[in-house]
Structure 1
């Protein structure tokens, strides 16, 4: 069993030091600088509020050609199939999904795949299941 730390870019000593630098800010919810001049300046009156777009509050975006359901479904498939399996047939994909204890929904989707071809990546699998394709401009 491995213990995951907050970062794999630094060593434990550096991680602890960086965590200590922001601990006061995280706990207090406001600036911890003693001198006001050290605080970051707020947005000016002529600058947009960071959480608003021209149409209102920002929400997560999706690429052209797909909707949120496509993104979620394709991501779920990818999380169980991984990167090592490609190229693969429907049978090979089913074996990997069962081995990785995929959800019933993922297993049902893979069972619907046409058996007569080999798939190069998750996008090809998703398209064979009737999912959308991102439009590149």
Structure 2
């Protein structure tokens, strides 16, 4: 039964099914026109840094921490000391574990951006604090 609201006619539907039949059966493009296929990678294409993200290679702990900090802190927050940063994190409803780690940093230190803060939280002096939360 046809309702009349179809965007394509019955003939065009059959034609499109026939065009896709080879692709669906083979799993790869079956067109004879080269211009219609995806372009392969070239020799001078840039390499992806550290390879593609796969289930076995997720973001490092530093990258994950930096992302979490960037979600809650704005550019206007910096430069700041740990006390100012912990206040900003609390206002943004950041996880308590993250706020506590920032409060443990030396009070006289100032951070100019999220990267510096993340490095301080995961650096050699932060050995007792590093690791997933």
TM-score, structure 2 as length reference: 0.49
TM-score, structure 1 as length reference: 0.48
Larger helix percent? 2
Task: From the CA coordinates, give the structure whose radius of gyration is larger.
Answer: 2
Larger strand percent? 1
